Amino acid sequence: MATFVLNDEKVKNSYGFRIPTKGISLKRFKANPVMLDQHWNSTSAVLGRWKNVEVLENGHLTAEDEFDEEDEKAKLIKGKVDRGFIKGVSIGVTFDREHMKLAPDGVWELTKCELFEASIVAVPSNSNSLRLYVAETGELIEENAVKLTLSAITKTENFNTNKMEKLVLSATVLVALGLQNADDVAAVSNAISTLSANYEAAKARVVVLEKSVKDQAELQAKTLVSTAIAEGRLTADMQEHFVTLAMTNYETAAKIIGSMPAKKSLAATLINVGGSAANAEVKTAEDFSKLTLEKQLAFKEAHPDAYKELFA
């Protein structure tokens, strides 16, 4: 069991601000002190929980790890933590813009927030790694979006300070956003929102397209294999293996199946052996009796009506 520093109020995080520990609400977190893997909000990413959550006099927020050792993934990560290979932790908090204040030393401070979760991470950006969530939806906020917001606040609000941060966007970014310049903060914000919405819509379309392609590949593979089984090239117990192969590499599967001989029926084989000449020879029952047994069987199976007439 290791003790992690979840927050150090003296350290500025990668977003460009720090969080006074006294302003962090722990009520929600203590009710569900979940430990996630890299801020992945999924039941499969729950590694365990945090114990003995404490606020120390030096402004540190600390907690002890308790991994779910019945889970193989959690057990593996616990081993890396215990052996000192993983040391990073990152908190996820929800916040309101109104609680972002500029401290006397010129550093932004998030004076109030709510602790959402704490994650084990491989490489935190600094000793006070942080992720921010939208309070209403619980969705993660991109780091650049937070930095843009801080720049907007600095530019539009009066904090009785001469320190003014200017929002700087490259020409490439401006083109992507459809803007001429970055002076209109509202326009930048709207453009980013539109770009984000378009991105999400595109992702949704990709998911639908990928499913359609997968369904088509599966149908094509199953058709190839079922035809091969009907032709006697494959047996039923080989179906699953060849369907999987065909979905992965249709060309290879088709080549392998094509190289396998189709199963021929006994009648077809005997007819090929007997030939049309044998059929022409059979006019009477006596003619039939002169054929070999194989040719008799072939004639009977290929010409059942003629066979009946011979012995009517």
Pair of tokens at residue 207: 């998911």
| pLDDT confidence of residue 72 | 94
| pLDDT confidence of residue 129 | 53
pLDDT in tens, 7-47: 888 888 877 788 999 999 999 999 999 999 988 888 999 99
| pLDDT confidence of residue 195 | 77
Dihedral (CA of 25, 26, 32, 34) sign: positive
Find tokens 């599967």 and name the residue.
253
| pLDDT confidence of residue 69 | 93
| pLDDT confidence of residue 190 | 76
Other CB atoms within a 10 A radius of the CB of residue 273 amount to 12
- Residue 310: which residues within 8 A CB-CB, separation 6 or more? 282, 284, 285, 288
**Are β-strands 34-37 and 113-121 bridged in parallel, bridged antiparallel, or unpaired?**
parallel
pLDDT category of residue 88 using cuts at 50, 70 and 90: confident
pLDDT category of residue 137 using cuts at 50, 70 and 90: low
pLDDT category of residue 160 using cuts at 50, 70 and 90: very low
Q: Do the Cβ atoms of 191 and 199 come closer than 8 Å?
A: no
Average of per-residue pLDDT values in the chain: 79
Question: Which of these ranges, 61-75, 141-155, 177-191, 245-259, has the smallest mean pLDDT?
Answer: 141-155
Q: Hey, which of 44-58, 130-144, 166-180 has the most confident mean pLDDT?
A: 44-58
Please tell me the number of Cα atoms within 13 Å of 99 on its side-chain side.
15
Element (H, E) at 42: none
Residue 150 scores a pLDDT above 60: no
| pLDDT confidence of residue 163 | 40
Its pTM stands at: 0.44
pLDDT in tens, 194-250: 877 888 888 889 988 889 999 999 999 999 999 999 888 899 999 999 999 999 999
Burial class (CB in 10 A: 0-12, 13-18, 19+), 169: middle
Other CB atoms within a 10 A radius of the CB of residue 215 amount to 10
Looking at per-residue pLDDT, the higher value among 284 and 244 belongs to 244
Among 46, 72, 74, 50, CA closest to 61: 50
Q: What is the CA radius of gyration of the chain?
A: 37
Q: Identify any residues that bridge with 115 across adjacent strands, giving them in sequence order.
A: 93
Q: Rounded distance, CA 224 to CA 91, Å?
A: 52
Residue 185 scores a pLDDT above 70: no
- Residue 51: which residues within 8 A CB-CB, separation 6 or more? 33, 63, 64, 65, 66
Domain residue ranges in the chain:
3-141, 201-259, 266-310
pLDDT category of residue 162 using cuts at 50, 70 and 90: very low
| pLDDT confidence of residue 277 | 47
- CA 80 vs. chain centroid, Å, equals 25
Q: How distant, in Å, are the alpha carbons of 180, 182, 241, 299 from that of 173?
A: 10, 10, 48, 81
| pLDDT confidence of residue 307 | 83
Residue 141 scores a pLDDT above 60: no
